[in-house]
Amino acid sequence: MKQIRWFWAPLAMMTAAGLLWKTQEVSDGVREGLARCAAVVIPSLFPFMILAGLISASRVGTVLSRWIARPAGWLIGLPDSLGAVFLMSFVGGYPVGARMLASMLERREIDRDTAAAALCLCVNAGPSFLISAVGAGMFGSRRAGAFLLIAQVCSALVVGRFACCTLRRTHPMTLTADRSNSNGFVHAVQGASAGILGICAFVVAFSAIIALLNALGILQAVARMLGAFFPSLGASFFSAWITGLLEVTSGCTLAASLHTRAGFALCGFLVSFSSLSILLQVKACFPDLPRFCLRPFYLSRLVHGSLTALLSWLFWGLLPPEELAAAIIQGTPIPHAAPNMFISSACLIAMCSILLLPNRKNTGNVNNYA
């Protein structure tokens, strides 16, 4: 423990010095993170987080779980209680499945081991992010985003097959939630508000970290060093890889700008690995879960990302050359936010914060319905 403290103390001091030295660059990174929240994160995630919370806290979740669990049980052996979570993890995006599992764990519908194992297959990028943001927005081709979605679903089924071997050995717990709660929509909105605030905070924080690393030249130096060992990939590839390991949207933007098969495969890896930012968001959903319970989840991210990258590499040959040529000519757009978008996003975040204030006093923990 003393060695760890001696490591973090100098790192914190150097980070503080870097923030003071590169204030303008870090401020630009924060603004870029806010723009990404306004242009990508909030529009693509907030409605689905409300829907997931409503499904999780109503009888719809029970019925939907049974419907989805039948084909999923035949394919990968998924338990009946996790059908809705499995579906919403693909429809809603990264944090939705994790938050639904955390809600089920708090209501004692599943046990700790089941939640830890289910995380391996219930943390995925949503189709709105893959097809619209990555495919159409970054590669200039919705077909490219659809291929990334197919690759991710196929690799998730492979990972899920192994994860469900553990799930079958667990004992399902009886439902204790009040499925007839008439305030389900209110609690779903409150839970989504808490979730979107946390997600935006992580996105902005990691955007600032990436900006600081770029300003200090650390990220470029590491990328050049790795590029020297793998000249066929180049420093730009590793710059996108390192950035994507920290924050997935920024990494996918840089990977798409390469306009190569390796860049497309890297996007496949990043969207399934999900970045350190997403991993911390998932960990934040389970504050009481022991660290060792999350180790299978962390390992599954590497396997999931590698399988998606392999399939994306194969799918690259199916993309029409004219679409790729048009994307190269037009360039890769980077998400920007107009001034009115900043104002509307700030208002939405403020309203989410106001919505949570009375809940802390009167209704207890909002995460019970997230």
| SS3 labels along 301-350 | HHHHHHHHHHHHHHHHHHCCHHHHHHHHHHCCCCCCCCHHHHHHHHHHHH
Q: Are 22 and 212 in contact (CB under 8 A)?
A: yes
Higher local confidence (pLDDT), 231 or 76:
231
Q: Are 18 and 210 in contact (CB under 8 A)?
A: no
Q: For residue range 137-152, what is the model confidence (pLDDT) as tens digits?
A: 888 888 999 999 999 9
Answer whether 0.85 is exceeded by the pTM. Answer: no
Q: Are 327 and 257 in contact (CB under 8 A)?
A: no
169 has pLDDT over 50: no
170 has pLDDT over 70: no
Residue 212 to residue 33: CA distance in whole angstroms: 13
Residue 97: predicted pLDDT: 84
Q: Give the number of C-alpha atoms closer than 13 A to the C-alpha of residue 144, restricted to the C-beta side.
A: 31
174 has pLDDT over 60: no
Tokens of 162: 């192994």
User: What value does the mean pLDDT take over residues 35-64?
Assistant: 74
314 has pLDDT over 70: yes
Lowest-pLDDT range of 200-204, 207-211, 291-295, 296-300: 291-295
Q: Give the DSSP letter string of 206-274.
A: HHHHHHHHHHHTHHHHHHHHHHHH-TTT-HHHHHHHHHHHH-HHHHHHHHHTT-SHHHHHHHHHHHHH-
Residue 135 to residue 45: CA distance in whole angstroms: 17
Q: For residue range 243-263, what is the model confidence (pLDDT) as tens digits?
A: 999 989 889 989 998 888 999
Output the CA torsion sign for 176, 177, 180, 181.
positive
Return the domain boundaries, the chain: 22-369
Q: For residue range 316-364, what is the model confidence (pLDDT) as tens digits?
A: 988 887 666 655 555 544 444 455 555 555 555 555 555 555 544 444 4
Q: Are 326 and 140 in contact (CB under 8 A)?
A: yes
Average pLDDT of the chain to the nearest whole number: 77
Percent of the chain with pLDDT over 70: 72
Under DSSP, is residue 79 helix (H, G, I), strand (E, B) or coil? coil
309 has pLDDT over 90: yes
User: What value does the mean pLDDT take over residues 291-318?
Assistant: 90
Query: Amino acid identity, residue 69?
Result: A
Higher local confidence (pLDDT), 181 or 260:
260
Residue 160 to residue 164: CA distance in whole angstroms: 6
Output the CA torsion sign for 59, 86, 190, 345.
negative
Residue 235: predicted pLDDT: 92
Residue 266: predicted pLDDT: 95
Residue 311 to residue 268: CA distance in whole angstroms: 8
183 has pLDDT over 80: no
Q: What H or E segment, with its residue span, contains residue 280?
A: helix 275-285
Higher local confidence (pLDDT), 188 or 25:
25
DSSP state for residue 363 in the 8-state scheme: T
User: What value does the mean pLDDT take over residues 193-198?
Assistant: 79
Residue 39 to residue 59: CA distance in whole angstroms: 33
Residue 161 to residue 105: CA distance in whole angstroms: 22
What is the dihedral angle through the alpha carbons of 282, 283, 284, 286, rounded to the nearest 10 degrees?
A: 100
| 340-344, Cβ contacts within 8 angstroms, sequence gap of 24 or more | 341/35, 341/38, 341/39, 342/34, 342/35, 342/38, 344/38
Q: Are 95 and 282 in contact (CB under 8 A)?
A: yes
Residue 244: predicted pLDDT: 93
Residue 269: predicted pLDDT: 96
